[in-house]
Amino acid sequence: MTLIEDLLTLYRVERQLRGLRSRVDSAEIYLRVQQRQLNTLQERQEELETHKRQRQAHAGNLETEGEVVDERAAKLRDELNESSNTRQYQAVLNEVNSLKDKRKEFDEQAIAELTAVEKIDEELGELDDQLTERTKVLNSAQEELVSRKAEIKDSLAEIETERAEKASAIPGNTQDLFDSLADDFEGEAMASIELIDKRRREYACNTCNVHLPFDVVNRVTGRPDEVVQCQGCLRILYASDDCREALVK
């Protein structure tokens, strides 16, 4: 077999191998996406729980401060009853009224905090449902990945062995080039030369559609042991059946 024929054989096996691996790759990508989404929900849950604790603590502090105000107001009321003159009575009364205003302010703030806690609880309830559903999806994705790995295990090992055998027939430098192109283009390391216009001798790369000079076409068809790359996409060129028939006739 010529070098180009060996490369084409390797190319076809490479595509089969990557096709098998892509089934696992897509399952792994899907699993990672589900895990990220679950992590985002869990982070939101932790954030809400922290806010809830902070608001509950603030409401508790307000209540404690309110109790201190109540104790002070109670003492002042006793002082009101014991006031000996109008001036003293009025001073104590003013402080009592001030404490009433402060107590009312504390109560309003506490109610606002507790209302916020209720809203957080509602969101946490909705989040729990989302977490439950997302966890189910994640578990399903994990099972799918395990299943796909098991399905292709034997076939993958067989094709990997075949790929190694086909690659062994390719010279080192050419194999390195092929591997590099396969990695760059997801296995599509080669491209065929397609006939555009036989009379005008117009040919193009079937992958990037760059027009190819006739001398390039002649090199590919006339020197089957030489590697010729497309000047546009850099893939290794080979002649399609239509191209060969046009050159023969």
Q: What is the DSSP string of 102-171?
A: HHHHHHHHHHHHHHHHHHHHHHHHHHHHHHHHHHHHHHHHHHHHHHHHHHHHHHHHHHHHHHHHHHTTS-
**Together in a domain, 97 and 198:** no
**Inside any domain, residue 176:** no
Bridge-based pairing state of the strands 202-205 and 236-239:
unpaired
Question: With 80 as the cut, is the pLDDT of residue 112 above it?
Answer: yes
Q: What percent of the chain has pLDDT over 70?
A: 98
Residue numbers of the domain that contains 98: 3-167
| Cα–Cα nearest to 214, from 227, 236, 189, 197 | 197
**Inside any domain, residue 154:** yes
**Inside any domain, residue 126:** yes
Q: What is the number of domains present in the chain?
A: 2
Query: How far is 176 from 167, CA to CA, in rounded Å?
Result: 10
pLDDT at 249: 57
Phi and psi angles of residue 224, each rounded to the nearest 5 degrees, phi first: -65, -5
**Inside any domain, residue 183:** no
For the chain, give the number of residues: 249
pLDDT band for position 243 (cuts 50, 70, 90):
confident
Average pLDDT, integer, range 225-246:
89
Question: With 80 as the cut, is the pLDDT of residue 93 above it?
Answer: yes
**Together in a domain, 214 and 104:** no
Average pLDDT, integer, range 44-65:
95
Question: With 90 as the cut, is the pLDDT of residue 87 above it?
Answer: no
**Inside any domain, residue 34:** yes
**Together in a domain, 150 and 214:** no
Overall pTM > 0.85: no
pLDDT band for position 229 (cuts 50, 70, 90):
very high
